[in-house]
Structure 1
């Protein structure tokens, strides 16, 4: 993975200011659309675009809704019945704020990661992506109140939108050891109408990948690096691995494959479109600068992941996202 453009430390404090601005808002709008701002501002700051973050947030403000009202407190005794209840977004966020105030954030993450992992498809994988952005900053730049609060918001969103996949038929191994080719072997859902819940409800099964179960943590990390070509959800899992106990790495690979295959089945077009190669000499920094100037939250997030993958094809895909999404700024 190409990390050459990463800026590990934000000495300006811009990210923390942005997170504090965002924590009075909920993780969704209109009852279903994800708030991408916490993820986008983390990517902007990480790639040297901190001076434009607050201006970007001013534009994004119209897409934000206040945090929903509290419903019923989540406790260690009732959390199972609250899991997957979107009415409890504020309750879950408050629960994780208490948990991370009382214990180290890594301990809370390690406890809840295996509980939440079966519902990785929650919110079209946006909750795990939000957690991945947050953990990346906590590992690279250290912890403070806004960053730990952001983890509480991400985990709370994931718990409230927790969505296990339907029971799936055990299919044969994918006819390839290559992750990208394995995703090509996933059958596209014939009906791609409706939102993520309606689409995932149609799943009956998809090929197993890797063909044999992976138990070695280091091999699981290697396979997950291959799967990151499926974009942001597997990349979020990969970003989180260093903060997790090694015994959770192999289960994380399995969940990331399930999420990548499910989203591929739900959204992959009948005929993939071609795209031009990236111009010779174009640097990752220049590609991200184009995404930042474009301003679309999806474009920023996707380009951030593309730079993690690295290479000409990833840069070309990032430039294609600039073309496909309407500009914001």
Structure 2
């Protein structure tokens, strides 16, 4: 649970809401996600210094294009000219209705575009919802956290981008998420940015398995089974970063953090949305894996290890000192997984800190 008796998180979010969700026309603003993770894991004292160093990556919110209403929202979906219009729309919606009600309406509309914005919008939504779920008294929720949900949903709506039509290939005989990710075939042409790469996707392995594929498994459309499978996927993707993250250390972070964002949102959603959320999370994780993963894992003698028996708190402190937003967010997800405890998840976090350039 976020330890924010100082009000650091709310101050940071207020400071950030004058900024747009992107810079240089496409690169995402990671600051709201990173500062939420820093505060949650006891590094609140570092937040404003971290923001000072990140300030050069912030741009002002773009100028409004045209007001979005319920009537014209469908045609505005996925229109990046509306990067300022969509947060304003969700601010009005959240002022009129409880945030869970707004989320329940828009979550299924946005899920098909989960890969839009390189999955950053859904990850930002996951961080925003986590802070709102922390508050046992919904009536006392702070305005900056509700505003952050509006910004996160608005970013997702503006960058909403469905994947191309995909064929389903047979999934792994084991039915495990780890084997399903292994069965994802890397695209042949891994040139260009993520939008160009995603357009080259043609097929994914079927996952999770259906009872027809494996009669011993419960149907994935059962809410509890969907939740279990989603947690399994997050764990598998985090572990896989330890062995395959070298393919693209920054972008492969999202193969784990995107499904974990969905997992964080599940408790706020109606249970009938849990199964489609699992399907979308698998699509996001598999897509990032296909367009960035190397064909071979690290050799056994080069696999990362958790030297000296570091605690999860010590591992996160290293990520905070490292300073890169991707290392911080991967470590944040690794700590969710490591509640087991889970040495491989912590190794993945340390591996991210080793491969990604630190912020000096």
- Per the normalisation by structure 2, the TM-score is 0.88
Task: Tell whether 2:232 aligns with 1:226.
Answer: yes
> Structure 1 residue 322 and structure 2 residue 353: aligned?
yes
- Runs of 5+ in structure 2 lacking a partner? 211-218, 238-255
RCO higher in structure (CA 8 A, sep ≥6):
1
Q: Is the 8 A contact 1:175 1:182 kept in 2?
A: no
Aligned equivalents of 1:135, 1:111: Cα separation in 2: 15
Q: How many residues align?
A: 323
Shift of 1:270: 2.7
Are 2:316 and 2:328, in contact at CA under 8 Å, matched by a contact in 1? yes
| CA displacement 1:11-67 (0-9 Å, x = unmatched) | 010000000000000111111111100000000000000011000000000000111
Partner residue, 1:205:
203
Map of 1:59 onto structure 2: 53
Deviations 1:191-248 (A, max 9, x none): 1111111111001111110121621000000000001132100100000000000000
Are 2:64 and 2:82, in contact at CA under 8 Å, matched by a contact in 1?
Answer: yes
| RMSD, aligned α-carbons | 1.1
1:216 matched residue in structure 2? 222
TM-aligned CA deviation for residue 72 of structure 1: 1.2
- Corresponding residue for residue 289 of structure 2: 264
Q: CA deviation at 1:275?
A: 2.4
Q: Where in structure 2 are the equivalents of 1:84-99 lying within 5 Å? A: 84-99=78-93
> Does 2:307 match 1:279?
yes
Q: In the alignment, what sits opposite 1:44?
A: 38
In 2, Cα distance between equivalents of 1:270 and 1:184: 9
> Distance between the aligned counterparts of 2:297 and 2:89, measured in 1?
43
Contact 1:110–1:244 (8 Å) recurs in 2: yes
Aligned partners of 1:323 and 1:215: how far apart in 2? 39
Whole-Å separation in 2 of the counterparts to 1:180 and 1:138: 31
Instruction: Give the structure 2 partner of residue 3 of structure 1.
Output: none
Give the equivalent residue in structure 2 for 1:146.
Answer: 144
Deviates more, 1:7-16 or 1:241-250: 7-16
Compute the TM-score of the two structures, normalised by the length of structure 1.
0.96
Q: How does 1:149-188 map to 2 (within 5 A)?
A: 149-188=147-186
- Tell me the alpha carbon deviations over residues 51-95 of structure 1, each in whole angstroms, 9 at most, x when there is no partner: 110000000000001111101111111111110011101001100
Say whether residues 1:242 and 2:264 are aligned partners: no
Out of 317, 324, 333, the position equivalent to 1:296 is 324
Match runs of 1:76-91 below 5 Å:
76-91=70-85
C-alpha deviations, 1:126-172, integer Å up to 9, x for none? 00000001111110135210000000000000000001010111322
Distance in 2 (CA, whole Å) between partners of 1:60 and 1:34 is 12
Q: Are the aligned partners of 1:299 and 1:321 in contact in 2 as well (CA < 8 Å)?
A: yes
3-state SS in 2 of match to 1:210: coil
2:117 to 120, 123, 128: 123
Structure 2 distance, partners of 1:206, 1:187, is 8
Correspondence for 1:193:
191
Q: Report if the CA contact (8 A) 1:28-1:35 is conserved.
A: yes
Q: Name structure 1 gaps, 5 residues minimum.
A: 1-6
Measure, in 2, the Cα distance between the counterparts of 1:70 and 1:192: 35
* C-alpha distance in 2 between matches for 1:275 and 1:139: 36
Contact 1:120 1:164 in 2 (8 A): yes
Quote the residue 1:14 is aligned against. 8
> 1:30-41 maps to which residues of 2 (within 5 A)?
30-41=24-35
**SS of residue paired to 1:224:** helix
- Deviation of 1:281 after TM superposition, in Å, equals 2.3
